[in-house]
Amino acid sequence: MGSTRLIATILLGLGAGVQFGCTDHDTPTAPARPAYNFVNGPGNAGPYVVRVQGPFPPGFGYFLIGIDIARNRLSVIGLGSLDPAQSSGCKPDGAFSILDIQEVFTPSGAVKFLADGQTVTQHVYALDAGGGWLDVWDNTGLCDALKLPRLAQGTGVFHYTESNLSLSGKAPDSFGWRAQGTLDDLVNGGQIRYQEEARLIFDQKSGSFRLFLDRILLSPVGGP
C-alpha cells in the first residue's frame, strides 16, 4: 500500500464520523465554569478560548483511524461503543466518545485545537483481518470492516492536538494524537497494553499531506 493510500485512509477515517454520525446541532456554547481544567490555560473561557465537552469536534462527531503498516495493525478510536454494530460507524444515531475540548483563537487567525478524553473507546485490528480490512471497507462498507474480528478493545486515554484548524494563512496544519489503555486481549484472553502515536502535516502551499508517524504498539501488561 503506498503512502498516498495510507494517508488518504487515515483522513477518510477522520471524515467517516460525519457520514455516519453528523448531527444537526449547532456548535455548543462554552460553559461559564468548565468542570475540567487544561494545563497552563486560563481559569475561565473567554473570547479567544472556547471550552466545551462533547464529541470530537463540537457539534459533529468523528472517530479516528490509524494505520501502522510495519506492524500490520489498524486502530479505530472514539466509536462511542465497544460493540461496533452499535457505534457511530454503523448507526446514524450511534454515539461518539465524549471529550474535553479547547479551541484557542490566535491573532493570526489560526485556531489551535486540543481534545482530551479519559475513557475513549479503542479498537485494534489486524490490517489483513477478513482478507484485508481496507478491502472490506472498499467492497462492502465501513460497518462490515468495523465488525471484523479485533485484536484488542476497551477504553483508555486519548489526547489530540491541531495547530491550524482554521487553515488560516499559509501556515501548515500539524495534527495528530496519542492514545493508550489497558485493553481486553481478544486473541489470547486477559488484558494487553495498547499505545499509539500519530502525527501528520497538511501543507497548504502544495495541498499535500505528510505522514510522519503512526505507531500502534501492543505489549503484555506489566511488560517493558
Tell me the three-class secondary structure of 117-163, residue by residue: EEEEEEEEEECCHHHCHHHHHHHHCHHHHHCCCCCEEEEEEEEEEEC
Query: Comparing 87-96, 140-149, 164-173, 203-212, which segment has the lowest mean pLDDT?
Result: 164-173
Q: What is the pLDDT of residue 42?
A: 52
Q: Which residue has the higher pLDDT, 74 or 36?
A: 74
- pLDDT greater than 90 at residue 101: no
Q: What is the mean pLDDT of the chain?
A: 75
Read off the pLDDT of each residue in 95-120 and give the average, rounded to a whole number.
Answer: 79
Q: Provide the 3-class DSSP secondary structure of residue 79.
A: coil
Phi, psi of 19 (to 5 degrees): -65, -40
- pLDDT greater than 90 at residue 218: yes
- pLDDT greater than 90 at residue 75: yes
Q: What is the pLDDT of residue 114?
A: 82
**Would you list the domain boundaries of the chain?**
3-27+48-220
Nearest to 96 by CA among 20, 163, 33: 20
Query: For the purposes of burial, counting CB atoms within 10 Å of the CB of 211, is it exposed (0-12), middle (13-18) or buried (19 or more)?
Result: middle
Q: Which of 1-15, 91-105, 136-150 has the highest mean pLDDT?
A: 136-150
- pLDDT greater than 70 at residue 57: no
Q: What is the pLDDT of residue 194?
A: 96
Q: Which tens digit of pLDDT belongs to each residue from 116-175?
A: 888 899 999 999 998 999 999 999 999 999 999 999 999 999 998 887 766 666 777 788
Q: What is the pLDDT of residue 39?
A: 43
Q: What is the pLDDT of residue 169?
A: 64
Q: What is the pLDDT of residue 71?
A: 94
Q: Which tens digit of pLDDT belongs to each residue from 175-189?
A: 889 999 999 999 999
Read off the pLDDT of each residue in 73-84 and give the average, rounded to a whole number.
Answer: 90
Q: What is the pLDDT of residue 105?
A: 78
Query: Comparing 1-15, 163-177, 188-202, 205-219, which segment has the lowest mean pLDDT?
Result: 1-15
